[in-house]
Structure 1
Amino acid sequence: MAQNPLIQNQFTADPSVRVFNGKIYLYPSHDIPATPGHGRAGWFCMQDYHVFSSPNLTDWTDHGVIVSQNTVPWADSAAYSMWAPDCIERGGKYYFYFPAPAKSGGPKGFSVGVAIANEPYGPFIPQPLPIAGIHGIDPNVQIDKDGQAYIYWAQGNLYGAKLKANMLELASEPVKLEGFPDKGLKEGPYLFERKGIYYMTYPHVADKIERLEYAMSDSPLGPFKYAGVLMDESLSGCWTNHQSVIEFKNQWYLFYHNDDLSPNFDKNRSVRADSLFFNEDGTIRKVIPTLRGVGVTASSKKIQIDRFSAKSADGVGVEFLDTLNKFRGWKTIFNKTNSWIKYNGVFFGKKTAGRVNVNACSATGGTLLISTEDKPGKVIAKLVIPKGNNWSVVKKAVSFMPGGVRNLVVQLKGSGHVEVDWISFE
């Protein structure tokens, strides 16, 4: 999907995102509901990892399970604690790092394991033992410009160490990283480098729930200097957040998570993405979360206008289509004359004629006006939504078909109550 959350048919969290061979690969953790005997009720429950890929930030492919608690020789197969992972390429091989509790008789707490593949989507082969010397969660691995690899993790504080060239063993003693707030939980370290500056990003509970912060250094192991807040606490109250930062086609992006698909239980989370920008002095502008997210939506796809860029102050609402199956997504509700919603970044081909399709339902009947954001806006089509209690696709020939990338506005003309699932063009 080209909207937030990026994956809408399952729960995803703790995104580690990489660019391999010109494509984006998303390595999240995988929240599932706990069931009797499988996980702890009311807590995080995660038994495996998927990987997703995209050539354009819009179309995502699920490559399926790559590592499971049942396939790791040293891991406790009944722990359901496969927490935040990472992946990196070296020498044509892909190294997937993940935390998990060990079997009875192994190290207490969390260890960090490695699985290796010849392709970024697998198959990944878990190594027989975890990395010696690491006790913690949320591994992050980076390779510096000189070829030296570093691994970072959390264990109450943030830690780092050098990795050997085999990417499986520590090459130095772990060090506690300095320059971060003393109070409050810190976890999820993710380091990236830009113009000689090393940025350490991390979630931190400064008050009651996590926000994203960052610190800067001229060295991969610091010392770091606290630089500010990358993203404020979630307005929904989601207790956790977790991030990664990448550059793709000359634009930087922040990947993170929220509880979009599970607003009443924040242990089932969903990955999001928004654009990230830097100030001239190298500091990062605070990222404001959006529903629209990133990427361009093809006009021929189902445009989910509930993932809007802007809307009128009143008369427009967004609700789940089915509260018993939230993976079905959302609907947009128009209930006031001239109420409107805007959706940015729709790509139209070169067609000069066609039609628009709107999946809608209206107990009262109503009229929708679809136009571009041009000033003055150019009307694409005016659709009469029939009165009824069932969803149906209303089709209408367009007055004109826009070209290129345009912003769309959908507006209710006259009175009525109209619900819209999606619109598309053909």
Structure 2
Amino acid sequence: MNPILPPQFYIPDVEARQWDDGIVYLYGSSDRGGENAYCSHEYHVFGSEDMKHWTVYSGSFRSENVHRLQSRTVPLYAPDCEKIGDKYCLFYCQGNGDEGVAYSDTPYGPFRNAQGIWPADTDGIDPAILVDDDGSLYYFWGQYHAKGGKLDLETGKLISDTITKDILTEEEHGFHEGISIRKRNGIYYLIYSDISRGRPTCLGYAVSEQPLGPYKKGGIIIDNTGCDPKSWNNHGSIARINGEWYVFYHRSTHNSHFSRQVCAEPILFNEDGTIDEVEMTTQGIEGPLDCFRPLDAYRGCRLEGGCYIDARGEGEQHYEYIAHFGMGNTVTYKYLFFPERPCRVMLEASGSGDGAAVEVYLDGREEKPVAKIALANTAGEDDFQKFSGFFTGEVDGNRHSLHLRLTGERGTNQETYVCLKTICFEAGDAAESEE
């Protein structure tokens, strides 16, 4: 279910890797929740056998361990990691353009013995590494103009006569930043933050028969527009895991460009190697969710209006919720299945809800709502109370999208805002819902 990590972790820019041990490892930047800044001074590694339950390896690498003394107070930006020989090599970058590599005997670190990568060091951000079939190493980096070349890891230098500029450009490919590389069936795929729709909210891809190009733009894989009112960028990767392919991307939260959380969706390759665009979902890799399973409201995959995901508490007390849910705002969840017809719909809500109601729709808002849940004032935004309404719709065993919309009675204050914490459909006697 998306986001895929526990909610207290804000991990964007993710590279997903799976090696011989079968564990899926995630490498990414680390935002600080609620702060108006990108990234922090440490990386965490996450490992999972099923992409549902995650082990956290905290502090696998920190700014204090980078290769340049004067950069040890500079935040760490997007990394990549690859197994090269008997070492796991973490390729890192920093907000000042420094780039380097550090080493570990395990996929989760700690990574040590950092050295710079020349000439990428001080020249850009967002490294990506490919170990080709013949063992050759290819290194990519850059913002607005992607660069790359063959890497000699022993010296930490790119082989000068292989260095290629403008592998991707903003003008031709919509390239903004965040390059990632994979190889499939002899074709090289560059995945990147794509600005061709006005903001770099998309992950686009380009293909080539050679690792250093030329690359032809293939299209968009996913667009995170709608995850937050101020959503700005996207950055991620594609990965083959247990024979299936997935796209890993992030969504911003907290009514900001920041506090970004990693999500994942299945993708399919067509016979010609192209990738069709996929939508953001709540279900992610799991498939449609049982409607009788309590659903955290913050897992909405599309927010309309001024509402956004916010958080309270720390550590085990941390929780996330939909904040600033105002008149006409909508939160969408994709997708749910209904093993039987529900009796009621329950919400946990807080705030100034007197005179307001949440209308519940399946599949769209053109039809009548399947439930209407009247709200009331609570003692404050952190005082969540349960409210419910009868389910009056019909279900057919297919998957359905779920939409929550705030409405009010005549005279209701149009500045009314509430918060939503959980939603759940409740089973019961079918006749009861018709009373």
Instruction: Flag whether TM exceeds 0.5 (same fold).
Output: yes
Cα offsets for 1:296-335 (capped at 9, x unmatched): 3688974224534799xxxx98945767779623269798
CA contact (8 A) 1:178 1:223 kept: no
Equivalence for 1:330: 322
Equivalence for 1:389: 378
In the TM superposition, 1:254-269 aligns within 5 A as 254-263=247-256, 266-269=257-260
Q: Distance in 2 between the 1:201 and 1:409 partners?
A: 31
- Secondary structure of the corresponding residue to residue 214 of structure 2: coil
Alpha-carbon spacing, 1:222–1:405, altered in 2? closer, same or farther (3 Å): same
In the TM superposition, 1:136-151 aligns within 5 A as 136=123, 137-151=125-139
In the TM superposition, 1:130-209 aligns within 5 A as 130-135=116-121, 136=123, 137-154=125-142, 157-164=145-152, 169-170=156-157, 172-173=159-160, 174-177=162-165, 180-181=168-169, 183=171, 186-206=176-196, 209=199
Cα offsets for 1:347-367 (capped at 9, x unmatched): 999xxxxx9986455646989
CA contact (8 A) 1:85 1:138 kept: yes
Q: Distance in 2 between the 1:239 and 1:423 partners?
A: 28
CA contact (8 A) 1:157 1:176 kept: no
Query: How far off its partner does 1:154 sit?
Result: 1.5
Which runs of 5 or more structure 2 residues have no equivalent in the other structure? 364-369, 390-394, 413-417, 427-435
CA contact (8 A) 1:261 1:327 kept: no
Equivalence for 2:3: 4
> Which residue, 88, 91, 114 being the options, matches 2:102?
114
Query: How far off its partner does 1:161 sit?
Result: 2.4
Cα offsets for 1:362-399 (capped at 9, x unmatched): 64698999999xxxxxx9xx999896626245899xxx
Equivalence for 2:366: none
Equivalence for 2:113: 127
- Secondary structure of the corresponding residue to residue 177 of structure 2: coil
CA contact (8 A) 2:361 2:404 kept: yes
In the TM superposition, 1:14-163 aligns within 5 A as 14-20=13-19, 21-32=21-32, 44-100=38-94, 109-118=97-106, 120-122=107-109, 124-135=110-121, 136=123, 137-154=125-142, 157-163=145-151
Equivalence for 1:399: none
RMSD: 4.9
Alpha-carbon spacing, 1:300–1:146, altered in 2? closer, same or farther (3 Å): farther
Q: Distance in 1 between the 2:266 and 2:244 partners?
A: 7
Which runs of 5 or more structure 1 residues have no equivalent in the other structure? 36-41, 103-108, 350-354, 373-378, 397-401
In the TM superposition, 1:247-326 aligns within 5 A as 247-263=240-256, 266-288=257-279, 290-292=280-282, 294-296=284-286, 302-305=294-297, 307-308=299-300, 319-320=307-308
Q: Distance in 2 between the 1:249 and 1:33 partners?
A: 32
Query: How far off its partner does 1:145 sit?
Result: 2.2
CA contact (8 A) 1:25 1:51 kept: yes
Q: Distance in 2 between the 1:230 and 1:356 partners?
A: 34
Alpha-carbon spacing, 1:420–1:29, altered in 2? closer, same or farther (3 Å): closer
Q: Which amino acid aligns with 1:228?
A: G
- Secondary structure of the corresponding residue to residue 70 of structure 1: helix
Alpha-carbon spacing, 1:127–1:142, altered in 2? closer, same or farther (3 Å): same
Count of residues in correspondence between the two structures: 393
